[in-house]
């Protein structure tokens, strides 16, 4: 189901923002401003700065995707019991090396 | 598909007394009514060519089945007028769709006796999970028209699942198939704190609700 990578993915949606748009939410999740942090997309290997990720907001949660392959790298949901963070799509996330 | 799946509800809450009926009675708790069709996406809109599109049912079935786009359009379809509620709190009454019931799709396979859950999978790597019992007996359909026109890509076209009795994240856009399983498997939002079932009448928004 995930192998159909050759499908064309439009990256020009009106709801697409860059990683800075999720900066506040990310800061709440990580306890620090991480927009300048880097990480490696586990889907395609591209190393990106968080601020350059594609951000999709307005759904049930916020989804950050790789700017190259559009793979999901970070997901955040705000629930009554706190923020839920899934960063499994972003390896070696941390301050710039 | 056996007798053990029973109808747990009916789509659309058609108990309201006509167009002039009590709109509030048709609005689940915590929701507001809208006549808009908001676009909320977890990612870019996939653009899958129809000549490469297919719908596949796999997993705990005697033999997987797959329809091309033309074959899918040739399946028995019907019009559906249903009320839709999104967990982001909008409810849109009497949304008009055309599509194929999940019952019709599952007539194409023989389910293993252990089959209990449907994992809907989609272009864009989205998934959502539903008990089989929640999608049978006319409770769910795969839509390819909305309001008399082909379903637009931003709304999930060419085809999306529609499960009116659940919050709209269960109505997976850009659906490409069902994986039938014995075990449940939380989907894209269900695995991130959203409710596993998502019944809008019980306000099952988050896990623990």
| Confidence bin at B21 (pLDDT 50/70/90) | low
> Is residue A7 in a domain?
no
Say what the pLDDT of residue B209 is. Answer: 85
- B198 CB near a chain A CB, below 8 Å? no
**Largest CA-CA distance found in chain B, in angstroms, rounded:** 48
B49, burial (CB in 10 Å: exposed 0-12, middle 13-18, buried 19+): exposed
pLDDT in tens, B165-189: 999 999 999 999 999 999 999 999 9
CB B133 within 8 A of CB B182: no
B144 membership: H or E segment, kind and range:
strand B141-146
Q: Between A7, A54, A86, which is nearest B192 by CB?
A: A86
Residues A76, B44: Cα–Cα separation, whole Å: 17
Residues B164, B148: Cα–Cα separation, whole Å: 18
Residues A18, A21: Cα–Cα separation, whole Å: 6
- Contacting residues of B for A2, CB less than 8 Å apart: 125
- Contacting residues of B for A76, CB less than 8 Å apart: 192
Lowest mean pLDDT across A4-8, A76-80, B26-30, B197-201: A4-8
Overall average pLDDT of the B122-136 stretch: 96
The ipTM is: 0.81
Q: In chain B, which residue's Cα lies nearest the Cα of A85? A: B192
Cβ contact (<8 Å) for B48 and A7? yes
Q: Domain residues of chain B, as ranges?
A: 50-202
Q: Does B104 score more than 50 pLDDT? A: yes
DSSP state of A82: E
Q: Does A91 score more than 60 pLDDT? A: yes
* Domain that includes residue A76, residue range: 16-94
Share of residues in chain B with pLDDT > 70 (%): 90
Residues B198, B19: Cα–Cα separation, whole Å: 27
Q: How many CB pairs under 8 A join A and B?
A: 89
Best to test chain A binding among B85, B125, B194, B205 (most A CBs inside 10 Å): B125
Instruction: Looking at the complex, report in whole angstroms how far the Cα of residue A2 sits from the nearest Cα belonging to chain B.
Output: 6
DSSP state of B12: G
Bond before A79 cis per omega within 30 degrees: no
Share of residues in chain A with pLDDT > 70 (%): 82
pLDDT in tens, B81-97: 999 999 999 999 999 99
Query: Within 13 Å, how many C-alpha atoms sit on residue B71's CB side?
Result: 12
Say what the pLDDT of residue A57 is. Answer: 85
pLDDT in tens, B34-85: 999 998 888 999 988 999 999 999 999 999 999 999 999 999 999 999 999 9
- B80 CB near a chain A CB, below 8 Å? no
Say what the pLDDT of residue B136 is. Answer: 98
Number of domains in chain A: 1
DSSP state of B108: T
> Is residue A44 in a domain?
yes
Say what the pLDDT of residue B92 is. Answer: 97
Q: In chain B, which residue's Cα lies nearest the Cα of A12? A: B44
Mean per-residue pLDDT over chain B, rounded: 91
pLDDT in tens, B27-37: 999 999 999 99
Q: Does B193 score more than 90 pLDDT? A: yes
- Contacting residues of B for A8, CB less than 8 Å apart: 46-48
Is CATH 3.90.420.10 the classification given to domain B50-202? yes
Q: Does B7 score more than 80 pLDDT? A: no
């Amino acid at each position: 189901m995930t192998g159909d990578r050759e499908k064309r993915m439009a990256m020009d949606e009106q709801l697409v923002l860059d990683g800075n748009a999720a900066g506040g939410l990310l800061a709440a999740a990580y306890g620090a401003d991480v927009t300048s942090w880097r990480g490696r997309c586990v889907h395609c290997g591209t190393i990106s700065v968080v601020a350059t990720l594609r951000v999709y907001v307005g759904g049930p949660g916020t989804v950050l995707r790789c700017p190259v392959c559009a793979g999901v790298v970070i997901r955040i949901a705000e629930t009554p019991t706190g923020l839920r963070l899934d960063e499994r799509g972003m390896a070696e996330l941390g301050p710039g090396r | 598909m056996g007798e053990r799946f029973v109808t747990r509800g009916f789509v659309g809450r058609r108990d309201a007394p006509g167009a002039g009926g009590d709109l509030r009675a048709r609005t689940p708790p915590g929701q507001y009514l809208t006549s808009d069709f908001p676009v909320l996406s977890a990612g870019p809109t996939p653009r899958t060519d129809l000549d490469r599109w297919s719908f596949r049912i796999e997993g705990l079935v005697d033999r997987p089945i797959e329809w091309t786009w033309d074959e899918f359009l040739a399946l028995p379809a019907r019009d559906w007028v249903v009320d839709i509620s999104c967990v982001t709190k909008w409810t849109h009454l009497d949304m008009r769709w055309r599509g194929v019931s999940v019952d019709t799709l599952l007539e194409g396979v023989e389910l293993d006796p252990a089959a209990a859950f449907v994992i809907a999978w989609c272009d864009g790597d989205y998934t959502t999970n539903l008990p089989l019992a929640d999608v049978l007996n006319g409770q769910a359909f795969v839509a390819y028209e909305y309001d008399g026109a082909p379903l637009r890509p931003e709304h999930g076209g060419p085809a999306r699942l529609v499960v009116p009795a659940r919050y709209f994240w269960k109505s997976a856009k850009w659906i490409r198939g069902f994986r039938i399983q014995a075990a449940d498997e939380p989907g894209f939002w269900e695995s991130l704190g959203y409710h596993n079932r998502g019944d809008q009448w019980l306000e099952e928004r988050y896990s623990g609700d």
